[in-house]
Amino acid sequence: MAYGPSWATSFREGYMGQPSSPVSGTRSKPSPPIRVSLRLATPPMATAADGGTRRRRGRGGKGPNSDLSRTLTDCTRRGDAAAAMAAFDAAASGPDDLRLAAHQYNQLLHLLATAPFPGHPAAAARRVFAHMLGAGAAPSEATITSLARVVAADADAEGADEAFALVSTMRDKYGLAPRLRSYSPVLAAFRRAGDAGKAYAVEAHMAASAVSPEEPEVAALLEVSAKAGDADKVYEYMHKLRRAVGCVTEETAEVLEGWFRSEEAAAAGKAEWDACRVKEAIVAKGGGCHQLGWLRTGPWTVQRVRVAADGECGGCGCRLASVDIDMEDTHKFADSISGLALERETKANFSHFQEWLEEHKEYEAIVDGANIALYQQNFSEGGFSLVQLDAVVTELRDRYNGKWPLVVLHNKRIAKLMETPSNRHLIEIWRANGALYTSPSGSNDDWYWLYAAIGLNCLLVTNDEMRDHIFELLGSSSFFYKWKQRHRVKYTFNKGKAVLVLPPPYSSEIQESETGSWHVPIEEKSGDERARTWLCIGRTDLTKLPREPLVANGVAQDLSPSEASNGAGQRQSAEQAAPVTGKRKDRD
Ligand SMILES: [Zn+2]
């Protein structure tokens, strides 16, 4: 801290009454905290200088309580809540008018919320907060959050209610928006108290404040609803958990195991349902769930299992789904791409492409032509390799019973390629089979292949990570990541043959099957998918579930045996493909 000379003079003369005091005169060497607190506890005299010092208050703790301020900073560094409160209480009970800056009250409350404190931390925090309000310092979100955290952790049952009241009124009282961290300790307190109704009320308040629960909060809600035997709520929170996380922590897994082994879980569900409706719902939702409620009744079997590389569950034998974004999101996504493209591309050109695509919906795969033709071509004789592109087209046709993919290539490339007879021959074959779309001069072909792949809901062959500017326009939405995981096909070449790296055959996320079973991945720190433990949860009376692979969002997931059964091979190929540098962009 840098103290101005006028303040130092005022401090020495007006407040301490000791102009030459070595303590107050020391600027670069803070006094030992214990001495400071003693000094503040027994100020030598109350003077009439209050008016003078008060003027200088409110400037980040440069007031007369700067020794206390240093004590607080020091205690914060050491995590010593007891010493900080001792200094505060001593100063507050002294004859002087103690006023701290808002951040100092926050420091104290934060210490009480995070550091061990002998005695009664909630009482201490209430005291600090009351003093803060009395001193006219404005609370911030951090103030209320720390206070709520201390109060909620209090052993007495009213602590949770008081904490909830603090958080739920902070907007009305102080104009402060609660955050997830404000609600979290309140939910945790109602979880400990086993008060489901109040936990639901906290969740409702969170929703009204547009705060989304994350795993700890959903786990808390799951546990209270499970303990209350509220099967509908557990079902609701299972789906909230599915949306909030990929895989779950060990702690959450235990909460789930607890529920599925309960009598209430065995009783929950319906004996009959419309299987077609369930299937349709699964397709519409992207393949990982139906959300139509608990299916079947009777006790559950909960196992900890591994999943094979092709997605076959080691417990029940069913095939896990590769989960896509749902249909609604897919449509919205396509619309946002076309909206952005129409703003940036020549409108007539892109509209023409959209109309053309409307007439040609049969493609299984879209090919980012420039990305493939330029792959590893940055050596001296390297160039635009139509041979590489042809190898990918051939491999795709082999895979899809001779069906042609759609190659998107920029106009200027085509013009150049047509100068060579062998290239011209190939291009003419592609054209004759509807396998080529030429993006016009002045366009950015990225918009074209991306729109086609999303609009037709099919695979996209590119090594492009899709992280540059046009993808930034889409925002960092998790569903773009999910879409990419499910649709992007990477490639390498082995002795001139294209090796395609298809999306993984199943998704490591919570899945609800059409027979009502659940699969929950538990976090795997090694990063090795094969080592991951899953919870396989199904009704005991079902010995084996159907083995047929599910369909996600209309995209069939029957991969050829080679990549479906060879996870290791895929991983290796992905590594080989990794060092590829970004492709050169085709514009103009
Ligand atoms: Zn299973």
pLDDT at 213: 93
Q: How far is the CA of 526 from the centre of ligand 1 (A)?
A: 22
pLDDT at 58: 41
Strand partners, 408: 368, 437
The CATH fold assigned to 28-212 is 1.25.40
The amino acid present at 6, given as its one-letter code, is: S
Q: How far is the CA of 302 from the centre of ligand 1 (A)?
A: 9
Q: How far is the CA of 317 from the centre of ligand 1 (A)?
A: 6
Nearest to 490 by CA among 565, 417, 569, 402: 569
Q: How far is the CA of 260 from the centre of ligand 1 (A)?
A: 14
Residues 578 and 375 sit within 8 Å (Cβ to Cβ): no
Q: How far is CA 93 from CA 37, 202, 537, in A?
A: 12, 37, 61
CATH of 327-503, one of 3.40.50.11980, 3.90.1150.10, 3.40.50.2300, 1.10.8.60: 3.40.50.11980
Q: How far is the CA of 559 from the centre of ligand 1 (A)?
A: 20
Q: How far is the CA of 518 from the centre of ligand 1 (A)?
A: 7
Phi, psi of 218 (to 5 degrees): -65, -40
The two most distant CA atoms of the chain are separated, in Å, by 101
**Residue 382 tokens, joined:** 């390297």
Q: How far is the CA of 29 from the centre of ligand 1 (A)?
A: 66
CA 176/CA 204 separation, integer angstroms:
18
CA 106/CA 150 separation, integer angstroms:
12
Instruction: Please report, to the nearest 10 degrees, the dihedral formed by the alpha carbons of residues 24, 28, 32, 35 taken in order.
Output: 0
Q: How far is the CA of 545 from the centre of ligand 1 (A)?
A: 8
CA 544/CA 5 separation, integer angstroms:
83
**Residue 204 tokens, joined:** 């409702």
Give residues whose Cβ lies within 5 Å of ion ligand 1: 313, 315-316, 536
CA 583/CA 457 separation, integer angstroms:
23
Residue with tokens 């009376």: 541
Residues 454 and 333 sit within 8 Å (Cβ to Cβ): yes
3-state secondary structure 301-313: EEEEECECCCCEE
Q: How far is the CA of 262 from the centre of ligand 1 (A)?
A: 19
Please give the distance of CA 580 from its chain centroid, rounded to a whole number: 27
Do 327-503 and 213-322+504-557 fall under one CATH topology? no
Beta strands in 176-321 (DSSP E): 300-305
Q: How far is the CA of 529 from the centre of ligand 1 (A)?
A: 16
Q: How far is the CA of 240 from the centre of ligand 1 (A)?
A: 21
Q: How far is the CA of 553 from the centre of ligand 1 (A)?
A: 22
Phi, psi of 113 (to 5 degrees): -80, -25
CA 185/CA 17 separation, integer angstroms:
46
Q: How far is the CA of 323 from the centre of ligand 1 (A)?
A: 16
Q: How far is the CA of 536 from the centre of ligand 1 (A)?
A: 4
Q: How far is the CA of 549 from the centre of ligand 1 (A)?
A: 13
CATH number belonging to domain 213-322+504-557: 1.25.40.10
Q: How far is the CA of 58 from the centre of ligand 1 (A)?
A: 62
**Residue 552 tokens, joined:** 């996600």
Q: How far is the CA of 233 from the centre of ligand 1 (A)?
A: 23
pLDDT at 571: 33
State the DSSP string of 419-476.
TSHHHHHHHHHHHHTT-EEEEPTT-BHHHHHHHHHHHTT-EEE------SHHHHTT-S
Q: How far is the CA of 520 from the centre of ligand 1 (A)?
A: 9
Q: How far is the CA of 478 from the centre of ligand 1 (A)?
A: 27
Q: How far is the CA of 11 from the centre of ligand 1 (A)?
A: 73
Q: How far is the CA of 166 from the centre of ligand 1 (A)?
A: 44
Q: Under DSSP, is residue 501 helix (H, G, I), strand (E, B) or coil?
A: strand
Q: How far is the CA of 108 from the centre of ligand 1 (A)?
A: 50
Q: What is the domain partition of the chain in residue ranges?
A: 28-212, 213-322+504-557, 327-503
Q: How far is the CA of 314 from the centre of ligand 1 (A)?
A: 6
Q: How far is the CA of 251 from the centre of ligand 1 (A)?
A: 20
Q: How far is the CA of 548 from the centre of ligand 1 (A)?
A: 13
Nearest to 219 by CA among 182, 178, 247, 177: 247
Q: How far is the CA of 513 from the centre of ligand 1 (A)?
A: 10
Q: How far is the CA of 562 from the centre of ligand 1 (A)?
A: 23
Q: How far is the CA of 519 from the centre of ligand 1 (A)?
A: 6
pLDDT at 24: 35
Q: How far is the CA of 130 from the centre of ligand 1 (A)?
A: 55
pLDDT at 544: 45
**Residue 224 tokens, joined:** 């209270």
Strand partners, 491: 500
CA 241/CA 223 separation, integer angstroms:
12
Provide the 8-state DSSP code for 135.
Answer: T
Q: How far is the CA of 535 from the centre of ligand 1 (A)?
A: 8
pLDDT at 588: 54
Nearest to 404 by CA among 436, 444, 381: 436
pLDDT tens for the chain, residues 1 to 588: 333 333 333 333 322 323 333 333 333 333 333 333 333 333 333 333 333 334 344 444 445 567 888 899 999 999 999 999 999 999 998 888 888 899 999 999 999 999 999 989 999 999 999 999 999 999 999 999 999 999 999 877 689 999 999 999 999 999 999 999 999 999 999 999 999 999 999 999 999 999 999 999 999 999 999 999 999 999 999 999 998 888 999 999 999 999 999 999 999 999 999 999 999 999 998 889 999 999 999 999 999 999 999 999 999 999 999 888 888 888 888 898 899 889 888 888 999 999 999 999 999 999 999 999 999 988 777 788 999 999 999 999 999 999 999 999 998 888 888 888 889 999 999 999 999 999 998 888 899 999 999 999 899 999 988 877 667 776 656 677 778 888 999 999 999 999 999 988 899 999 999 999 999 999 999 988 889 999 999 999 864 445 454 445 544 444 333 333 333 333 333 333 333 333 445 555
Strand partners, 295: 270
Nearest to 188 by CA among 232, 154, 230: 154
State the DSSP string of 306-358.
-B-TTSBBTTT-PBPP-----HHHHHHHHHHHHHHHHHHS-HHHHHHHHHHHH
Please give the distance of CA 138 from its chain centroid, rounded to a whole number: 32
CA 215/CA 222 separation, integer angstroms:
10
Q: How far is the CA of 265 from the centre of ligand 1 (A)?
A: 18
Q: How far is the CA of 347 from the centre of ligand 1 (A)?
A: 50
Report field, pTM of the whole predicted structure over 0.95: no
